[in-house]
Structure 1
């Protein structure tokens, strides 16, 4: 919380990361101790309205563009207490890499299928 009683803006990025990891896990994509996985290339979040503490943040994720080795996860942020209000929105562009070589590799087919299906969370 910041001095105005708002959730501090730096926490939003943490919330988004936690939501992405949970989403990948629900899609069956392991995120820990694996030879390949995503790294963040770009994060964009537009703050539309401050979240006032206390509140339960709700993040809706959905698939954006999927390239050869990159993918976009789009997000919308609301609260459980006020689900009709959009507090923020944006996207995160990820690049799939081989952790041993730090080189980009193709997005796994199973994730590509899940992303192509436009699965939401």
Structure 2
């Protein structure tokens, strides 16, 4: 997913603030989920972030364009580990960060883990 670096993403050191990396990754995951049948969330179940791991490899500067890559690392009964990379849009050899996020689907009523929705499972196996 392509994304433009915004001026307000910068911190006092004039590069993208480390928390914004997580925001970029969240936006990419949400756009991915918007393309799934049933979105993977409804009145009964929804994903929550159980863990996030980011290896910051180099600063992202403004102005700039980045590409966010997502891929399934592991799929369980109630969770998915989604690997991620943020790279320079013009040169995917320039790696800004990598890592993964674990999403767990929960039952909105009980707060307990729920089985992965069929649409999510199918998308992860594709």
What residue ranges of structure 2 are gaps of 5+ in the alignment?
Answer: 1-9
8 Å Cα contact 1:21/1:31 also seen in 2: no
Q: Give the match for residue 55 of structure 1.
A: 64
Question: Per-residue CA shift, 1:54-85, capped at 9, x if unaligned?
Answer: 11221000112111111111101012244321
What are the within-5 Å matches in structure 2 for residues 15-94 of structure 1?
A: 15-30=24-39, 34-94=43-103
Does 2:104 correspond to 1:95?
yes
Shift in CA distance, 29/69, structure 1 to aligned 2, threshold 3 Å: same
Q: CA deviation at 1:46?
A: 0.3
Question: Per-residue CA shift, 1:80-111, capped at 9, x if unaligned?
Answer: 24432111101000110011211111111221
Q: Which secondary structure does the structure 2 equivalent of 1:115 belong to?
A: helix
Q: Which runs of 4+ in 1 moved over 3 A?
A: 31-34
8 Å Cα contact 2:40/2:119 also seen in 1: no
What residue ranges of structure 1 are gaps of 5+ in the alignment?
Answer: none
RMSD: 1.6
Q: Which secondary structure does the structure 1 equivalent of 2:34 belong to?
A: helix
Aligned partners of 1:21 and 1:28: how far apart in 2? Answer: 13
Aligned partners of 1:115 and 1:33: how far apart in 2? Answer: 18
TM-score by length of 1: 0.88
8 Å Cα contact 1:2/1:8 also seen in 2: yes
Q: CA deviation at 1:32?
A: 6.4
